[in-house]
Structure 1
Amino acid sequence: MQTESPDWLRWQKALAVEAERGFVDLVGKQYRFSEFLSLSFGKPPAGLSLEERRRWQEMAANFASYPQMTLAERQDLVAATRMYIHKTFVQAKKEPEDKEPYIPKPKLARTTPIVQSKPAEVYQRIAPTLDQQLAKLPEVGIRRGGYLERLGLYSVRDVLFYYPRDHIDYARQVNIRELQAGETVTIVGRVHRCNCFSSPRNNKLTILELILKDSTGSIKINRFFAGNRYANRGWQEQQKRRYPTDATIAASGLVKENKYGVTLEDPELEILASPGDTIDSLTIGRVVPVYALTEGVSADMVRQAVIAALPCVKQIKDPLPAALRKHYDLAKLTDAIANIHFPPDSDTLAIARHRLVFDEFFYLQLGLLQRQYKAKQIQTSAVLAPTGQLIEKFYNLLPFTLTGAQSRVINDILTDLQKPAPMNRLVQGDVGSGKTVVAVVAILAAIQSGYQAALMAPTEVLAEQHYRKLVGWFNMLHLPVELLTGSTKAAKRRQIHAQLETGELPLLVGTHALIQDPVNFQKLGLVVIDEQHRFGVGQRARLQQKGDAPHVLTMTATPIPRTLALTLHGDLDVSQVDELPPGRQKIHTTVLTAKERSNAYDLISREVAQGRQAYIVLPLVEESEKLDVRAAVEEHQRLQESIFPQFQVGLLHGRMSSADKDAALTQFRDNQMQVIVSTTVIEVGVDVPNATVMLIENAERFGLSQLHQLRGRVGRGAAQSYCLLMSSSKTETAVQRLKVLEQSQDGFFISEMDMRFRGPGEVLGTRQSGLPDLTLASLVEDREVLELAREAAEKAMAKDPTLSRWSLILKELEYRYQRLMGGTILT
């Protein structure tokens, strides 16, 4: 498309910032985000075809309607627009297919040749292969090769696929007068003065001071050298001779402003023969790759190894067919690898990164879909009856009507249970959406078909909560159910083991105790795992191995953003209970400062005076768990004696014995205590409909998803409920995060925002989360690329689920998928 070039870089930046801030229609200096994009697309450049002009008008209209759109509609529009701009303006700048990728010239390392009788020139003439050892490259040598092995880099192939973790763009050359603080730039000027001296305050710190001039102005820049070797007077004089007056210097760095004016922070320097001379440096005047390093391995050492290996990039075969690359506008793999290391400009870098991010997501999704396909080839699971007297009796016992969402999800599950292939379904639902009822129907389907079921929860509190609820229903259905946790007495444990083996016990509820070896089911047909992301992959697998390919139903009350769900659970069928029972009121949420603490205590007093109850939650910081428990004890004593002497104030924390925790919760449920001071042990599973106030101290220490979970402990009855977020932090980010809770009750929106603020690993809150080890891709920034990769993987599986027609893709998948998931995903 030949058109005048619109300011698409500003559009991309606006779209990126809008996505980062949660699609809130940001207000800029002149316009709102939606107004800016609507006006921009309302002025199509000259030279567009009629169809393209219509496309621009349609997009202008879409952004005009942006304020009225739902969150999902806004996300889709922003993602589609970013992709359109990428294809239209960035992808259009791609180099021709037959053009060789840019490869910097290698510089020979000063090392002794490996074979003394052969000079280094001989090695240069012998073209290295992808599997050749790095140490045998003359530019690397044995000594440097040994250092590079510390990074896991042994071969040419290893270093080519060792992508930079970041890039610094020094490609833009500007005049000294044009320097703006915060930019990374390159300047070329003449040396007006050079000085090199030891710091008067620290004789181990040497300062190289240069004043450079060009036709527009002058600038003083400093470089700092720490160590005795630089304090040597001879070394300092050598530096002065290196940068004589009137020598032409190229300098690259980040522009900083101080009280003396602008300067370059820790600049890279190169001496040029003349002002118009070519800059040959690996770091000056170009987009510079930044690699993850380790002790003894310098950045230049890695860069030199990459440059030495880059000529071999032509030997890499691209596994993706040309038709697929063309359909998704992907660069050739050889070009992408060359340009991710040493791109000539930032546009080329964006094209290269897009291809390599697509690859990471594509092979991950292909592996998950293959795993799902192989699981469904198993035909040994129990075929369970979807209807029967037990399920009918249970429906009649319920004092409420199921929501439409509950009925839909139950139908999904019962359809799965009628097949001999094992069900592997994830049920997501916000707090209070009624997931337990859904799970009970699945459990009853197993029991009425003559099979046993197991329900595993991550904590004793949650397991006991499930057990208490199930006992009430199962007693009326004349069915036995038992609880097995780490606190279960030995005699009771032996009795449970015996009843499981004989088949007398149809349902066992418990914690990790369920996966211990003595637990043997006679005929396990269904496994239910609650808050499954809190268990490791191995733990979940061990419970499944207690039966012969049992059906698996996993549940979570922690809404997971779609990008995380696709990455973690791309091999599962997903159902959402996205409808709350009727009558639930919105929880009134307020962020308070320490000065407003008395308002919080007044609200608690008023609610308790009306017969209600309240939670006061203290943060649990892993680094100092004992200190936190002591703080909880002290806070409990202070509240009981000084703030609420007229009420009964209880205490609950994770270091209490199971019996003491159970006793405290029972007293709170029975309204024998009106206020309970607790740590996050009450985050999930505690159900006290009479509790209407949740006060969370130091709320800035919690993630948004965790705060939303805690808030879900109130609002479970008919009365108006309140959540008070007490924060001592005044930072803008902390305030913005907590305001999200004030504005929204939607768990999926809150989890999306939580991931943007804290990243996916923190949102999941556990090292056992099973997050893949992605090198370039970001689950926050690359949402649209993930969606495209998933689509491509689904199309490939639809054509050939065995992938036998694409041998290169299959080979690459076997290597990448194992590496991405550390092998654990294949359990």
Structure 2
Amino acid sequence: MKEEQIDWIRLQKALSIEAEKGFTNLQGNQYRFSEFMCLSFGQSPPFGTSLEARRKWLDLAIKFSRYPELITTQRQELVRETRQFLQELKQTLENPPEPPQPKIPKTIPVTETANNTRPLTLDQSLKSLTAVGERKGQDLVERLGLKTVKDILFYFPRDHIDYSRQVYIKNLEAGETVTLVGTVKRCNCFTSPKNTKLTIFEIVLSDPTGQIKLNRFYAGTRYNNKGWQERQKRFYPPGATIAASGLVKKSKYGVTLDNPEIEILDSSGSQIESIKIGRVLPVYPLTEGIAADLIRKTVVEALTAINQIKDPLPNDLKNIYGLISLKEAIANIHYPDNSNLLAHARRRLVFDEFFFLQLGFLQRRHKLQQNQTSASFNPRGQLIEQFNKIIPFSLTNAQKRVIQDILKDLSSSTSMNRLVQGDVGSGKTIVAVYAILAALQSGYQAALMAPTEVLAEQHYRKLVTWFNLLHLPIELLTGSTRVAKRREIHAQLDTGELPLLIGTHALIQDPVNFRKLGLVVIDEQHRFGVQQRARLLSKGESPHVLSMTATPIPRTLALTLHGDLDVSQIDELPPGRQPIQTVALTGQQRTQAYDLIRREIAQGRQAYIIFPMIEESEKLDLRAAVEEHQRLSEVIFPDFQVGLLHGRMSSAEKETALNAFRDNQTQIIVSTTVIEVGVDVPNATVMLIENAERFGLSQLHQLRGRVGRGSHQSHCLLMSSSKTTDARQRLSVLEQSQDGFFISEMDMRFRGPGQVLGTRQSGLPDFALASLVEDQEVLTLARDAAEKIMLQDPTLKYSPSLKRELDDRYQRMLGSDILN
């Protein structure tokens, strides 16, 4: 949410009215007070918001998701806290402080050896560095892929520990990272009397406010040597001044520093020379056999070559977006003088990661738009006119808008590449039908590919009714299609007799040849790999592509995955749909859930009961579908027919189970997540999800979408045995909201983008620093910057430094699949 998009007055007015009405969670025209606040704070905070304020912004979104559960005094305090926060944030944004001037730290010690007499170069081997050598250099190459000075400079820390704050002993607080400077009272080093393999090093340190005991522990019999222990004691004689940095811990023995770093000083006012003590310490991603100190010392030595780094970003772009130079950023991401410089360094490097990703996406889209296609469709034709007359319902305004976007693309001489996002039940299939009819009435064939047989069969079942009325042949091709039928389909495709084929991965097999493929529709496209999608497209000559997903994803995630696509959203549900009443239950409330199912079935309705597993696991105490099906049918619901559906059943068994449920021959169906998409039974009004805490919010929302598809009030019951605060917070989001885009945003904040997508091969690039949760504002700015560059110089002909960096990054970091 950009600053100008925030309606400060509306937010403050909502808070004021809620307070005036006694904190009753007022119902507005569209949302309740808590829903409105939750949605407002669920969007990105305004540009310029500090890291601390961004975290507070997210915290308020979570707090308002629990607002209905709070007592009046707690609601009052939350409203007061929010009003004060918004007032302070608005003042800060209107009068921003001057940012500190970043500089390259000059206090990093660099070892002066013969190797330093000649300046290092960026392409110089790490093996030539004093801190590395041949053997360690080989380890860095083999274990971390670090070969050159440039490689180590761009090997960024995954975290930082701030030891830069020096405090007195009396002011220590548990959980803080600090540095102490004081005098050694006594020092001892000895083998533990209880464990001969453990050596304990102990120092008592004092300063003007008190004293503290510090311990370090050494595991292994080699430290039992008396000579070694005596040498440690002589290093830190009584009266010596030392600096110690570490995490403050409190136990029954008092306050101490956990495994502290210690350095002898000349005096209490002496400068600390260590690369660890008294500064912001970088923490690097490591692997077995690579010590943290090796990386730190190598970085320190490599930083002498930092002036050779060329900044690819133009100065005017850096000025517009408030970015420091690249060499300043690299110096301060490794060894910042303070936390402010670290924040500036990280922001610049995160911007670069997002900017070049978006620039690559936009360049790819530009190139695709230059490709001419022979498949230019007529958006106004007889088939579409006939279809408008036979559909028994009215389209929503959102559907009409998206259809117009698609038909405009299809009438162009360049290939369409559009993604349609729509919440559960928003009517994406009917939108795809208009695209298919535009292809067919223009003399082309179309293909619709779905990731599962259940979903492909659902599409076929829905479309065949309409296409029969239009006298258009349509076929279904899956792994279960019989050989004879398969051959018949292949022949009809080859001659052009079959205009539309719906199927699964079977569509991309070699015998499937279209005579004139003009349109490819890919449903739940994120479940297909890049190569699978490409194989289907190769069966035509630059066909138009329409991708669809019923899994709403946050805008930042969409930009990162689909930055090269045109995106349309169906953000409106068909009229008559009632909100699904969602409630989280504990095991003690199971009887209430079963009673609700009985009441609904008594009224002629049906129910789903969903389990996360097929069979019992010894490691996870989860109720499993196969075992529970027998208990539910024989003990709990003996008067009803209870069906079973899971992924290990054959296609014929699945179809039999689904048909029985569709025809109300079974009133309850026990299932795994195989019914997450593609099952449409309007008569089903209850969904009970066992072990709901094991699912992500987006997946729960998808499952919930199997009910509420008719005109009757529907219910979703989230059964959870977890007592953790995190699990309760997550499930409360489902209780409060029906908005799939908001739910997916909250899911990403709780679990991260990879988990939201549900698979590691989701296509997300590996970022060194950037976070799609924490850095949404920077991603938005980077996309804006990339769009401006493309408007001015779409081929980067006049921006050679940007072109070189873009090419280098996609070869070195992001991989070929990103732009395939």
TM over 0.5: yes
Deviations along 1:9-60, one digit per CA (max 9) or x if unpaired, are 997524323225537569797874432234436xxxxxxxxxxxxxxxxx35
Describe the SS at the equivalent of 2:55: helix
1:102 correspondence with 2:109: no
Deviations along 1:342-387, one digit per CA (max 9) or x if unpaired, are 1011000001111111111100000000000000000024001101
1:153 correspondence with 2:146: yes
2:325 aligns with 332
State how 1:10-21 maps to structure 2 within 5 Å. 12-20=51-59
1:724 aligns with 717
Describe the SS at the equivalent of 2:205: strand
State how 1:382-393 maps to structure 2 within 5 Å. 382-393=375-386
Asked if the contact 1:11/1:37 (under 8 Å) is kept, the reply is no
State how 1:223-372 maps to structure 2 within 5 Å. 223-372=216-365
Asked if the contact 2:444/2:517 (under 8 Å) is kept, the reply is yes
1:203 correspondence with 2:207: no
- Give distance in 1, aligned partners of 2:482 and 2:742: 43
2:179 aligns with 186
Once the 2 structures are TM-superposed, how far is the Cα of residue 143 of structure 1 from its aligned partner?
2.1
1:93 correspondence with 2:100: yes
1:803 aligns with 796
- Give distance in 2, aligned partners of 1:201 and 1:562: 58
Describe the SS at the equivalent of 2:193: coil
- Give distance in 1, aligned partners of 2:374 and 2:174: 65
- Give distance in 2, aligned partners of 1:370 and 1:39: 42
- Give distance in 2, aligned partners of 1:501 and 1:319: 51
2:134 aligns with 142
Describe the SS at the equivalent of 1:186: strand
Q: What one-letter code is carried by the residue in structure 2 that aligns with 1:34?
A: T
Once the 2 structures are TM-superposed, how far is the Cα of residue 451 of structure 1 from its aligned partner?
0.7
- Superposition TM-score, scaled by structure 1 size: 0.89
Q: What one-letter code is carried by the residue in structure 1 that aligns with 2:125?
A: Q
Deviations along 1:149-202, one digit per CA (max 9) or x if unpaired, are 121111111111111111111100000000111111111121222222223333
Asked if the contact 1:103/1:310 (under 8 Å) is kept, the reply is no
- Give distance in 2, aligned partners of 1:625 and 1:676: 25
Change in Cα spacing, 1:627 to 1:387, as seen in structure 2 (3 Å) is farther
1:35 aligns with 83
2:509 aligns with 516
Deviations along 1:462-488, one digit per CA (max 9) or x if unpaired, are 111111111111111111111111112
Change in Cα spacing, 1:542 to 1:10, as seen in structure 2 (3 Å) is closer
Asked if the contact 1:535/1:768 (under 8 Å) is kept, the reply is no
1:566 correspondence with 2:559: yes
- Give distance in 2, aligned partners of 1:626 and 1:421: 54
Asked if the contact 2:622/2:691 (under 8 Å) is kept, the reply is no
- Give distance in 1, aligned partners of 2:416 and 2:316: 35
Once the 2 structures are TM-superposed, how far is the Cα of residue 628 of structure 1 from its aligned partner?
10
1:131 correspondence with 2:123: yes
Change in Cα spacing, 1:379 to 1:17, as seen in structure 2 (3 Å) is same
1:613 correspondence with 2:621: no
- Give distance in 1, aligned partners of 2:353 and 2:473: 48
Change in Cα spacing, 1:362 to 1:247, as seen in structure 2 (3 Å) is same
Describe the SS at the equivalent of 1:589: strand
Change in Cα spacing, 1:426 to 1:626, as seen in structure 2 (3 Å) is farther
Asked if the contact 2:198/2:217 (under 8 Å) is kept, the reply is yes
Q: What one-letter code is carried by the residue in structure 2 that aligns with 1:130?
A: L
Describe the SS at the equivalent of 2:363: helix
Once the 2 structures are TM-superposed, how far is the Cα of residue 211 of structure 1 from its aligned partner?
1.6
- Superposition TM-score, scaled by structure 2 size: 0.90
Once the 2 structures are TM-superposed, how far is the Cα of residue 682 of structure 1 from its aligned partner?
0.3
Deviations along 1:496-535, one digit per CA (max 9) or x if unpaired, are 1111111111111111111112211111100101111111
Once the 2 structures are TM-superposed, how far is the Cα of residue 230 of structure 1 from its aligned partner?
1.7
Describe the SS at the equivalent of 1:768: coil
Name which of 690, 706, 709 aligns with 1:713.
706
- Give distance in 2, aligned partners of 1:248 and 1:395: 87
- Give distance in 2, aligned partners of 1:661 and 1:383: 40
Describe the SS at the equivalent of 1:483: strand
Describe the SS at the equivalent of 1:374: helix
Q: What one-letter code is carried by the residue in structure 1 that aligns with 2:134?
A: I
Change in Cα spacing, 1:462 to 1:102, as seen in structure 2 (3 Å) is farther
1:762 aligns with 755
Deviations along 1:587-629, one digit per CA (max 9) or x if unpaired, are 0000000000000000000000110000000013899699999
Q: What one-letter code is carried by the residue in structure 2 that aligns with 1:94?
A: Q
- 622-631 or 505-514, which moves further after superposition? 622-631
Name which of 575, 579, 586 aligns with 1:582.
575
Change in Cα spacing, 1:412 to 1:24, as seen in structure 2 (3 Å) is farther
Asked if the contact 2:609/2:671 (under 8 Å) is kept, the reply is yes
- Give distance in 1, aligned partners of 2:211 and 2:620: 56
Change in Cα spacing, 1:806 to 1:171, as seen in structure 2 (3 Å) is same
Asked if the contact 1:196/1:236 (under 8 Å) is kept, the reply is yes
In structure 2, the gaps of 5 or more residues are 1-47, 68-74
State how 1:49-128 maps to structure 2 within 5 Å. 59=90, 88-89=96-97, 92-95=99-102, 101-102=105-106, 104-107=108-111, 120-121=113-114, 123-128=115-120
1:56 aligns with none
2:689 aligns with 696
Change in Cα spacing, 1:513 to 1:237, as seen in structure 2 (3 Å) is same
- Give distance in 1, aligned partners of 2:87 and 2:418: 45
Q: What one-letter code is carried by the residue in structure 2 that aligns with 1:106?
A: V
1:604 aligns with 597
Asked if the contact 1:704/1:754 (under 8 Å) is kept, the reply is yes
1:453 correspondence with 2:460: no
Identical-pair percentage: 68
Q: What one-letter code is carried by the residue in structure 1 that aligns with 2:644?
A: L
Once the 2 structures are TM-superposed, how far is the Cα of residue 651 of structure 1 from its aligned partner?
0.4
- Give distance in 2, aligned partners of 1:18 and 1:384: 47
Change in Cα spacing, 1:221 to 1:381, as seen in structure 2 (3 Å) is farther
Once the 2 structures are TM-superposed, how far is the Cα of residue 818 of structure 1 from its aligned partner?
3.5
Describe the SS at the equivalent of 1:223: strand
Deviations along 1:765-823, one digit per CA (max 9) or x if unpaired, are 01221001111010000000000000000000000101111100000001113444311
2:405 aligns with 412
State how 1:454-473 maps to structure 2 within 5 Å. 454-473=447-466
Asked if the contact 1:532/1:555 (under 8 Å) is kept, the reply is yes
Once the 2 structures are TM-superposed, how far is the Cα of residue 434 of structure 1 from its aligned partner?
0.4
- Give distance in 1, aligned partners of 2:332 and 2:273: 17
State how 1:762-781 maps to structure 2 within 5 Å. 762-781=755-774
Describe the SS at the equivalent of 2:244: strand
Deviations along 1:618-673, one digit per CA (max 9) or x if unpaired, are 01389969999993111000001110000000000000000000000000000000
- Give distance in 1, aligned partners of 2:712 and 2:434: 29
1:442 correspondence with 2:435: yes
Name which of 654, 668, 691 aligns with 1:675.
668
Change in Cα spacing, 1:233 to 1:487, as seen in structure 2 (3 Å) is farther
Once the 2 structures are TM-superposed, how far is the Cα of residue 728 of structure 1 from its aligned partner?
0.4
Change in Cα spacing, 1:37 to 1:385, as seen in structure 2 (3 Å) is same
Asked if the contact 1:339/1:352 (under 8 Å) is kept, the reply is yes
Change in Cα spacing, 1:630 to 1:698, as seen in structure 2 (3 Å) is closer
- Give distance in 2, aligned partners of 1:646 and 1:29: 51
1:65 aligns with none
- Give distance in 2, aligned partners of 1:21 and 1:517: 54
Describe the SS at the equivalent of 2:99: helix
Asked if the contact 1:102/1:339 (under 8 Å) is kept, the reply is no
